[in-house]
Chain A
């Protein structure tokens, strides 16, 4: 596996680079592989044989093979030279899922058998899975590198390794491109029943009946739901075996739901997870929901953007120093 451990300390750490990275020869390293060393040992044995038995053609063969190795070294270097890499936007994931970093690689000519992976940090046990790519010339190729998203917040793409043993496997050239990329990690959601809604308008009914125009679907009934919305027909079909279902309607005036930090009284991470779960549920149920965190307040709304806004706020929520202690 390249780079070998003993060499790591000598490779200069660079900062992540924005934009397109182009691999220049200064940052391409090369070393013989195990195969290369075996090859060298074989050649040495063959040379000794050729000298001992005075084989002119044997000399020629050994020199041809040695020259091939030399030539393949330059080709190996060339396989990485001028490679272009840039990072794309990455879709957010939830903590506990695998973040996919989307990357685009290109080269002026064909580059077979490039191995991409995320460089392991010294503490890590298992290396990240590698991705083998055969780049055709002149075309940007899209590929993804996965990385486990453990905690909410921004997951910054660590340094990468791109390596190539092409053409003969005797040498391994590698480089450490480090494109600037990050992936938003939403909190790991914990699903709990939604909190009771707050009445909107004058009717005080919740969910309001007046605007219920179009049947939009069914969901599992929760204790706070009105009896009027229960899908009795469905319940009759099931013979009462399954939980009761609630009919959902869209287009009408929605229930207004406040997901409030202060409604919960647990530690910060659990709170964040619970709120994230509520956000997802509320969005699924089609409620207008607002989010209120210390210092952040989103008015009730619906839709993908609102959901993202809320989850992002939760992902990036950092309690003010001392504030959490005071609240508990």
Chain B
């Protein structure tokens, strides 16, 4: 066994290469700081505080002359940390508890640095900690932080393996140079390394943090809670003209079962409805933010067969992805804004969409029944309902009063204050009570066009609910009752106002702040398209664009090996090929420039002639040369490095003096 260990550690000696200097410690501290700092955000307060105090403790230790903290203290601290983390996160190992453990351990490792080996272990921990940042955020800023923290960690690794006396600036500069030289390799690996879509195994429960979005059901408040959320829900890039805002209904979950309190989906049939497509389709690429659910959010009405993702359309016209959208996903879609959905409604489905809970909302039912006596035409009934919303004193507000047991009755006859969910629910209830099949559709409405990159951005705050009624011979028809509220009755609520009265995006005057925001989001979007949306499918697309159509795994690997090989050879040649050494001091470099200028002008400058001798020989023609030669001597032999400005001045003086010398004065002694 001992024999085997000799490869790594020869007994009884500590090679000088393993020596860790006092000056290395601040660097290690900085590496730990840059890698744990962003975690402070999502760690519990007590843990963040203890990490900070551990770092401070190490800094104090360093100031007093570093000494390894006694083993019993370290063991005690580790046990305490373990207990605390177990208490905080429970005993099941998960992502968050793992990250917390890693962060604490790496800051504790600072207390027991004995030799270089320890510091290397610490730096490996730091590398791993870097990775864990991306569990929480992968945006552009995190990407920039990646470069910065890699720089710090690399510089630390460099510092402990190089001359310890090197100061900060050259060290960072060299680390930056290494990273720059690594970038082409990284790009090749990034593009060509065969991507496997995860996960490789079952992930802990907390693998994906809670993210808001549309819900499985609709009860008052479930959508309006999104109004405060400026997070982006989806980004869309149209390949043609962006359609007008009134067509931008992004169809999400549909609810057709009402239990008096909550609207749910009661239609679990996955048989796609008949969609009659008319007119020109819209082609677009949608980048969905992860929402942990299966629904895609296409523009109404999508063609389920032309989706670049394994998906199905449910009977109620909702497009479901087979896999939940756990990560940001890029989908190509095709939608027909002019469509007819389910022209023939089966009796069963008709009854389903007429369902209303018994014993709820009697006044609403009575009102609908009275309308029904006047007309049976669904269009007129709908117009009647919308007219009712307009005529009566309905207001739009995000702060409606709480309603009682008969929510729709309360809304229609008492409060008359509500937002899209109330209007959609009340409208559908009215329609159903009047014998018109109807259902609630949730999704997003509209979007902001980013003028910088042409992407349409739909935020969570654009969440919306509207209604669909079924008309014989026409199929399902979208009706947005919220739009019936006159603008002056939108309560003084900026957000609500924005939702209802958002202007068409064409010709918007945008302030510089908005401009900056667009720019930033455009950058972020590009980042998402390339960094986060770089899936196996996208890789195939890119490879196809590069001329590797439909490559097999073997081809991708071959391409990767070939590109990496060529890059490595090229880099090695560039780095190792001997180049003529530049003169070390700046004065000599300027002197050589002067010599080149002289030679160009026909003056012989033999190698054996010293600057002063040359200057004296040419003093008649080039008196300024003497000054330059003296500067060179001062730099070389008197240790007075001249300022670059004075050197430049002297060189210019040489160039101006004399002009073109005659041939015999220059070559007399050559």
Chain A interface (Cβ within 8 Å of chain B)?
Answer: 1, 4-6, 25, 34-35, 38-39, 42-43, 45-46, 48-68, 70-72, 74-75, 77-78, 81-82, 108-109, 112-113, 115, 126-127, 130, 132, 134, 137-138, 165-169
Contacts and interface: CB of A to CB of B under 8 A. Distances in A.
B581 A109 contact: yes
B12 interface: yes
Contact of B327 (A34, A42, A54, A78): A54
Interface string B116-147: 11001100100110110011001000110010
A161 B334 CA distance: 68
B16 A60 contact: no
A48 B575 contact: no
Nearest to A165: B161
A115 B199 CA distance: 46
Contacts of B7: 1, 4-6
B200 A52 contact: yes
A156 B190 CA distance: 54
Contact of A67 (B16, B183, B199, B534): B183
B10 A134 contact: no
Nearest to B180: A71
Given A50-B131, A60-B531, A78 B124 contact: no
11 contacts: A1-B15, A34-B8, A54-B199, A57-B142, A64-B186, A68-B178, A70-B182, A74-B572, A115-B15, A167-B158, A169-B161
Contacts of B17: 115, 130, 132, 165
A49 B410 CA distance: 53
B521 to A, nearest CB: 18
A46 B131 contact: yes
B138 A113 contact: no
Contact of A57 (B124, B138, B154, B578): B138
Contact of A82 (B178, B195, B578): B578
A234 B564 CA distance: 85
A55 B178 contact: no
Interface in B162-197: 162-163, 165-166, 174, 178-179, 181-186, 189-190, 193, 195-197
B127 to A, nearest CB: 6
B196 A70 contact: no
A167 B162 CA distance: 6
A49 B531 contact: no
A128 B128 CA distance: 37
Contacts of A58: 131, 134
B456 interface: no
A163 B429 CA distance: 83
Contact of A46 (B8, B116, B128, B200): B128
B162 A1 contact: no
Contacts of B534: 56, 59
A52 B327 CA distance: 12
Interface of B: 6-8, 10, 12-13, 15-17, 95, 116-117, 120-121, 124, 127-128, 130-131, 134-135, 138, 142-143, 146, 150, 154, 157-158, 160-163, 165-166, 174, 178-179, 181-186, 189-190, 193, 195-201, 203, 207, 326-327, 531-534, 564, 568, 571-572, 575-576, 578, 581, 584
B189 A67 contact: yes
Contact of A52 (B13, B138, B198, B584): B198
Contacts of B142: 57
A50 to B, nearest CB: 7
Contacts of B198: 51-54
A272 B401 CA distance: 115
Contacts of A49: 131
A48 B200 contact: yes
B199 A168 contact: no
A67 B182 contact: yes
B161 A77 contact: no
A108 B578 contact: yes
**Interface of B: prevailing SS:** helix
Contacts of B154: 68, 168
Contact of B131 (A61, A74, A77, A113): A61
Contact of B199 (A53, A75, A78, A134): A53
Nearest to A68: B182
A78 B203 contact: no
B190 A169 contact: no
Contacts of A81: 576
A53 B203 contact: yes
A28 to B, nearest CB: 10
A57 B531 contact: yes
Nearest to B531: A56
A242 to B, nearest CB: 45
A38 B118 CA distance: 12
Nearest to B160: A169
A137 B143 CA distance: 37
Contact of A78 (B160, B532, B576): B576
Most interface-central of A38, A46, A61 (chain B CB within 10 A): A61
B117 to A, nearest CB: 8
A173 B278 CA distance: 70
A64 B150 contact: yes
Nearest to A129: B16
B143 A60 contact: yes
Contacts of B186: 60, 63-64, 66-67
A13 to B, nearest CB: 21
A62 B327 CA distance: 19
A134 B190 CA distance: 36
A56 B581 contact: no
Nearest to A41: B124
Contacts of B121: 38
Given A55-B138, A61-B146, A166-B161, A71 B178 contact: yes
Contact of B13 (A25, A57, A67, A126): A126
A111 B459 CA distance: 56
B120 A38 contact: yes
A65 B127 contact: yes
B185 A67 contact: yes
A73 to B, nearest CB: 9
B568 A70 contact: yes
A75 B326 CA distance: 41
B629 to A, nearest CB: 22
Contacts of A134: 163, 165
Nearest to A81: B576
B13 A127 contact: yes
Given A34-B8, A57-B532, A52 B161 contact: no
Contacts of A165: 17, 161
A138 B532 contact: no
